[in-house]
Amino acid sequence: MGSARKSAYALKDKYAIVGIGTTDYSANSGRTVRALAIEASANAIADAGLKPADIDGIVSYNFNDSAPAIAVATGLEIPNAGYAVDFLAGGNAANLIVLSAVAAIEAGLADTVVCYRAMNGRSGFRLGGGREFRALGPTQFTAPFGWITYPQAMAMWCRRYQVEYGLTPEQLGNVAVTLRENAVLNPRAMQRKPMSMDDYLASRMIVDPFRLYDICLETDGACAVVVTTAERAKDMKQKPVYIMGGAYGGGPQQGDDLFDCIRWPDHSKNYSHYIAEDLWRSAGIGPGDVDVAEIYDCFTYSILMQLEGLGFCGLGESGSYIADGHIRRDGKLPVNTHGGLLSEGYIHGFNHVIEAVEQLRGQSGPRQVADAEIALTTAGAMTCGSAMILRR
Amino acid sequence: MSSVESYEKPIPVPDPDSAPFWAGCRESRLLIQHCEDCGHNQFPPSNLCAHCGAGGLSWKQASGAGKVFSWIVVRHPVPKPVYAQDVPYVVALVELAEGVRMPSNIIGCSPEDVVADMPVKVTFKQVTDEVVLPLFEPA
Ligand SMILES: [Zn+2]
Ligand SMILES: [Zn+2]
């Protein structure tokens, strides 16, 4: 779709992720979101071999369903955060907050930044549920027709893809089944019971063309990472994971909110088509160089669109690409090695960053991709999103 | 006719940009914005032409004819008590003859009969004393 940016990302390998932390993922944490955010952030800081006093920036994203950055900074007793920002955003921002931490450090606002996402996504505010019942703003043209939930929103995209290219239930099912195979090996995953294609096909229809197993899990939990300069990273406890590049975007008609896609030109293609050129150019590599990919999977179909948008296969070819086994752990592009949002849990896509770092450090145990050097993480499924290329 | 109090589904709240559209529906007229400067038709409404940036857009009545661009069949009602009686129901992005897209319901046929590019035409349904929704049925 051509480059969106006039200037290229200029910070290749100059910044690194030096710490990661999570909480347990569950359906009912029994804790405040603030407590979850603080636990994951404290774990990430400790993982980096740092103390809260070493942190001077903090950034997150939420839908008014989380603890704000200043609350977490206060809870951690961060002495003086020079950068404390909350993006009002969805999963599209899961990589953008890391890139914004890099930008803040580059600008001199902070030296070492914690990035987190925390949510009681099952026991508290459920993103998959209904929205505001007075249909204001962009929702006045959608909600009155019973078009209310995110599964309903994204099924519209999936259907258009099906119209354009053809798509069988089994091609969606291959995504769900493959990711579950990975989750079985992941002690953090919420769904570790093996799933067969028959199990997938037998799961109930929620909103055609989505069955239950096309839809990600609702999860209580939190994830956090620590970002600093490559220079500082050299002396830290963990082997640094360098940020080779990244991009955010989605073209000219992104709509009035994250649901709104009325003016989007072609619903068989999502944001990934628009950021691909900037993403690969930023890191100076191409799709063939990626060893492991953690691809945003709020729904099965979003993996298909991103494989095509980012150039791993041609338009309309992702169904057969997946059927050929290429996204399996032993395939040429292992995808969502933790089980993804579909089977590990839905920390709004931030858990993809955690998994990518663990894979590049060689800490993924039985689900480790042998000799993984370069990882892709993506975030977003509809009109806008972000992505990063990481390396060990 | 049901009153606002007994109608439990989301009710559109007109704003300064959209008020003429909802007023048109009350008169069984499907209105879209039109840019006199460049000829662009526009929906949803906005204060500016998304094509050339001109203000002062006028409204024109669409023919009401369109085709199904994409559609879903809602089988699991959310919230359950509100939509339990309606499932399965079809939500579609309808592409009007004038080139704009509009979300709506397809009524008057079985969900299984909806296909891509199916010709449809607008019909109006009064849901409260104040609100009339534009729906679509097979043409
Ligand atoms: Zn024009
Ligand atoms: Zn114009």
Residue among A9, A296, A301, A321 flagged as catalytic: A296
Task: Give dist(CA A140, CA A152) in Å, integer.
Answer: 16
Residue B2 belongs to a domain: no
Burial class (CB within 10 angstroms; exposed 0-12, middle 13-18, buried 19+) of A237: exposed
Q: Is B16 on the interface with A (CB under 8 A)?
A: no
Of A133, A145, A204, the CB nearest to B103: A145
Q: Is the peptide bond before B134 cis (omega within 30 degrees of 0)?
A: no
Which strand (E) or helix (H) includes residue A86? strand A83-88
Same domain, B81 and B128: yes
Look up the CATH superfamily of A15-125+218-233: Thiolase/Chalcone synthase (3.40.47.10)
pLDDT at B1: 43
Is there a contact between B43 and B75 (Cβ–Cβ < 8 Å)? no
In this predicted structure, the answer to whether residue A298 has a pLDDT above a threshold of 80 is yes
How many angstroms separate the CA of residue B64 from the nearest CA in chain A? 16
- Number of structural domains in chain B: 2
At A163-179, the pLDDT tens digits run 999 999 999 999 999 99
pLDDT at A135: 87
Same domain, B26 and B75: no
Q: Is A148 on the interface with B (CB under 8 A)?
A: yes
pLDDT band at A132; cut points 50, 70, 90? low
- Which segments within B11-88 are labelled E, that is strand? 11-12, 31-34, 41-42, 58-61, 65-74
pLDDT band at A9; cut points 50, 70, 90? confident
Same domain, B39 and B25: yes
At A44-80, the pLDDT tens digits run 999 999 999 999 999 999 988 899 999 999 999 999 9
B53 is in which domain, residue-wise?
13-61
Is there a contact between A270 and A305 (Cβ–Cβ < 8 Å)? yes
Same domain, B123 and B91: yes
Residue B74 belongs to a domain: yes
In this predicted structure, the answer to whether residue A123 has a pLDDT above a threshold of 60 is yes
Other beta carbons less than 10 A from residue A68's beta carbon: 18
pTM attached to this predicted model: 0.96
Ramachandran area for residue B122 (φ above 0: left; ψ -120 to 50: alpha; else beta) = beta
Residue B20 belongs to a domain: yes
pLDDT band at A300; cut points 50, 70, 90? very high
Q: Is A278 helix (H, G, I), strand (E, B) or coil?
A: helix
CATH number at residue B113: 2.40.50
Same domain, B87 and B132: yes
Same domain, B73 and B84: yes
Which strand (E) or helix (H) includes residue A376? strand A374-379
Q: Within A184-299, where are the H helices?
A: 197-202, 230-233, 272-283
Report yes or no for ipTM above 0.85: yes
| A116 a catalytic residue | no
Other beta carbons less than 10 A from residue A331's beta carbon: 15
pLDDT band at A375; cut points 50, 70, 90? very high
In this predicted structure, the answer to whether residue A7 has a pLDDT above a threshold of 80 is no
Same domain, B137 and B69: yes
For residue A357, list its beta bridge partners. none
- Residue type present at position A277: E
Ligand closest to Cα of B55 equals: 2
Of B10, B44, B69, the CB nearest to A143: B10
pLDDT at B2: 45
Q: Within chain A, where are the H helices?
A: 33-47, 69-76, 96-106, 150-165, 169-183, 197-202, 230-233, 272-283, 300-309, 318-323, 340-343, 350-361
Which residues does chain B have with pLDDT short of 70?
1-5
Same domain, B71 and B103: yes
Ordered by start, the domain boundaries in chain A are 15-125+218-233
Average pLDDT, chain A: 95
Same domain, B77 and B123: yes
Task: Give dist(CA B19, CA A287) in Å, integer.
Answer: 48
pLDDT at B133: 98
Task: Give dist(CA A68, CA A214) in Å, integer.
Answer: 31
How many angstroms separate the CA of residue B120 from the nearest CA in chain A? 16
What are the angstrom distances between the C-alpha of A91 and each of A80, A112, A279? 28, 23, 18
Task: Give dist(CA A220, CA A23) in Å, integer.
Answer: 9
CB pairs under 8 A between A and B: 111
Task: Give dist(CA A76, CA A73) in Å, integer.
Answer: 5
Same domain, B90 and B129: yes
Cβ B105–A145 below 8 Å, yes or no?
yes
In this predicted structure, the answer to whether residue A8 has a pLDDT above a threshold of 90 is no
Residue B6 belongs to a domain: no
What angle separates helix A169-183 from helix A300-309, to the nearest 10 degrees?
Answer: 100
